[in-house]
Amino acid sequence: MKNTNLFLIPKIILDIKTMFCLAFIFTISTVSAQDETTFSFTAGTNIIDNSNGTDSPWDVDRFEFKNPFFIEAEFRRKNWGLAFMATTNNFELTRLNEAGDGFVVNSYDFFSLNITNKFYIDHYYFDTKSVDIYVGVGFGYHDIAEGKAMTANLSLGFNYWFTDALGVSLQAIGNKRIVNEVLYVGNYYQYNLGVSYRIKAKKKRVQPEEVKASEVENEEAEIKVEAVDEIVPVAEVITATPNLEDKDLKTQDADAESSIQKTAQDILTDEIEAIGPVYFEKNSSYFGASEKSKLNRIVNLLKDNKEITIRLDSYTDASGTDAYNKYLSDRRLDRVTKHLINRGFKVSMVKGVSHGVDTNNSCNAEHTSCTEQEHAKQRRVEITIEK
């Protein structure tokens, strides 16, 4: 049988250019506010379940699994993705013979192109970067026998990433015909199993302005701490004075030590304030390397001050629902608390409060007036010394 797939490609491109343009414009409008970009490529095998518009999915008797290959390329920014997929298979269809007095079973090449706009929902259910779950809407085009058809598609997919780059993909797609010239394949279901390779685009992490300014303040605070270390203990000066009574010596010694301790604590407070809050990406409870460095600096500052209690206040931006914001705020607080405890802090040294949205911030009260930079400043855990 002659394979005509190559001759169909120019015709397919002309027929579906409007479909691609509409889907592309919709996707770009939804991802333009996001800030994390990945590219992924998936290849594997597929099963076509030809219901022809009459039956429910997953009927093994209808499965087509001949020449079953697919390849997909996806552009993703944060929770939205745009995917292009090409599929091949081979159908055995029962058709009326040329004489019209009987039926013949012939094998036909099947070729389709799909474009899908995906929305990832896994962050609502899992707090891990290994699992992706998405729902998708899009359009498809397929050609078989002497006809062609366009479909509207709904999809559900699952990715599991063994590493940052390599994973496995499962996908189910329901195809509903909207333009049809094929009598034998109308509505159909497609099930894909593939291996995925992902590339993360490198980006410059944008920190709020006050975080950048804190680097300069931090250097000044370090100089202050060094100066405190060089102060001669007042107790030694008092002990060297021969004309004071022992009782007066003890009283003045205690007052002097209290004064020095207060000064040191104030400097530590200023130092931690200069380091600033720990910031998070949107819809994430994971902090990056720069934020981890902040926590480690705080650990080093307080490692010799076991009597100090620190307070953690966790916040989110106002872009999600109240329930989701509270959940995300709890996760961020738990993540920072565990990091500090793993680095040697006692549980009694850490006091945490999860607030969700910072209701004292005027931006959050107005919701729609917040810019992305203003939202970024709200996704944080603040660290202070309890007095």
Where helices occur in 142-245 by DSSP H, the ranges are 209-229, 234-239
Shared domain check, 193 and 216: no
The CATH number assigned to the domain holding 133 equals: 2.40.160.20
- Phi first, then psi: give them for residue 172, nearest 5 degrees: -125, 135
Domain extent for 78? 5-200
Domain boundary residue among 200, 235, 261?
Answer: 200
Q: Which of 279, 268, 267, 351 is nearest to 302 (CA)?
A: 268
Same-domain status, 176 and 111: yes
pLDDT digits (tens, 9 = 90+) for 176-233: 888 766 666 778 899 999 999 999 875 444 444 444 444 444 444 444 444 444 444 4
* Tens-digit pLDDT profile for residues 144-183: 876 788 889 999 999 999 988 999 999 999 988 887 666 6
Q: Are strands 310-316 and 350-357 parallel, antiparallel or unpaired?
A: parallel
Q: How many residues does the chain have?
A: 387
167 and 111 both lie in a single domain:
yes
Indicate whether 218 and 196 sit together in one domain. Answer: no
Count structural domains, the chain.
2
CATH classification of the domain holding 265: 3.30.1330.60
Boundary of a domain, candidates 200, 219, 239: 200
When the pLDDT of each residue in the chain is averaged and rounded to a whole number, the result is 76
pLDDT in tens, 56-94: 777 787 888 889 999 999 999 888 999 999 999 988 777
Identify which has the larger pLDDT, 18 or 74: 74
Residues 95 and 216 grouped into a single domain: no
Q: Does 243 lie in the same domain as 144?
A: no
3-state secondary structure of 249: helix
Residues 233 and 365 in one domain: yes
DSSP 285: -
pTM for the whole structure: 0.52
pLDDT, one tens digit per residue, over 121-140 is: 987 777 677 899 999 999 99
